[in-house]
Structure 1
Amino acid sequence: MAGAGLGRGLATPLLVINFCLYLIAACFAGWALNRNFDAGIGRGEGGVGNNVTQFFFLPITLIACMVGLASCLAGVHHMRLFRSDSLAAAAATSLIAWLLVLLAMGLACKQIHTGGNRPRRLKVVEALMIILALFELLYLLSLHLGFGRAGHNHTAGTGAGVGMGGVGGHNHQHHTDYGHHTDKKIPVGHVPNPAHPTY
């Protein structure tokens, strides 16, 4: 199972990197969103970014980071079990996280293009969304790399009573003759009378 070991060896460091990047991006995006909330009610030092930042980029970035962290937790569970059922959960959450990160990356590019008051922490969030779009894709591909037959539970023919229906095993039933063999030939169309048995 060298292929399975290669897939696990590539997915594990990417899993750790993605977790750290998602956590940092979520913290900085939460800080920026909180500052914009305070600026909206006349508190704090004023808002950051522009309309793209406040209404689109920061909320979607936070959602993408939360789903990304969930995909990392599902990935840890898959690395521990490394079965086909755990792969399905890890791959599904990773795919959703990657699509959300792609959306956040597009908004980050739009925010960079429009400019505005963008402090260093907000620029870090923009850069992390662009980087995570690549790293999440690599992690998603590494989940399937070399998985092969590793972790599959081959249960064919092991279930109780499988042979009963002839599904997992062959249950050859021989016909049993429950009557007595006799050399007495009965004419065609003649029905024996039970009261007068023929011997």
Structure 2
Amino acid sequence: MKPSVSSLLGLNLIMYIIVVIIAGWAINYGIDNTYIKASAEPLPAHLFPIYYPMGNKATGLFVLFALIAGVVGIGSLISGMLSMMKEWDLNNLALASSSAIVTWGLTLLAMGLACKEINIGGRNETLWTLEAFVIILSATQLFYIGAVNAEMPQSTVHWP
């Protein structure tokens, strides 16, 4: 089971790095074009600090939560990688599993916002790519959690 855990760990790490790069670019693009584009838009565009000219009303929250999920995912997977380099005991695997579950929750939140953005429509190819990576990561992160939990040794505590 250790090779499947390490391959899922590597795949998810690469995908979370790509999510962070694309979401960081989207935030930078939004910040660079906020003053120019939002000054000509009607009032709701002025309510948010960053205006995204390449998306729809769900783009701001989606990009923000995708960036948060990506950064937490990278940290979680680095923690899992370090626990793989150490002993494969219950404590290290429990640490990797718990941080992976938190990452999966944030990824599911970003996936829900991606689905809302897809439902609204009106976005460009870069956001399509970000949405696809977040949706795929929500499944592969679940497989990673299952593989880590399957690798955990059974507890030796016997209940009376």
Match of 2:9 among 15, 19, 33: 15
Cα distance in 1 for partners of 2:27, 2:151 equals 41
Deviation at 1:50, TM superposition (A): 1.2
Deviation at 1:146, TM superposition (A): 3.5
* 1:154-183 deviations in Å (ceiling 9; x for gaps): 9xxxxxxxxxxxxxxxxxxxxxxxxxxxxx
In the alignment, structure 1 residue 47 sits paired with structure 2 residue 53: yes
Larger Rg, first or second structure (1 or 2): 1
In the alignment, structure 1 residue 115 sits paired with structure 2 residue 121: yes
Structure 1 unaligned spans of 5+: 1-5, 155-199
SS in 2 for 1:92: helix
TM-score by length of 2: 0.83
In the alignment, structure 1 residue 87 sits paired with structure 2 residue 114: no
| Higher helix fraction (1 or 2) | 2
Structure 2 unaligned spans of 5+: 38-51
The structure 1 segments of at least 4 consecutive aligned residues displaced by more than 4 Å after TM superposition are: none
TM-score by length of 1: 0.67
Cα distance in 2 for partners of 1:146, 1:21 equals 23
* 1:49-71 deviations in Å (ceiling 9; x for gaps): 112102x1011110000110011
SS in 1 for 2:36: coil
Equivalent positions of 1:143-162 (< 5 A) are: 143-148=148-153
RMSD over aligned Cα, in angstroms? Answer: 1.7
Cα distance in 2 for partners of 1:69, 1:49 equals 26
- Structure 2 letter corresponding to 1:53: T
Match of 2:145 among 123, 140, 146: 140
Q: Identity over the aligned pairs, expressed in percent? A: 35
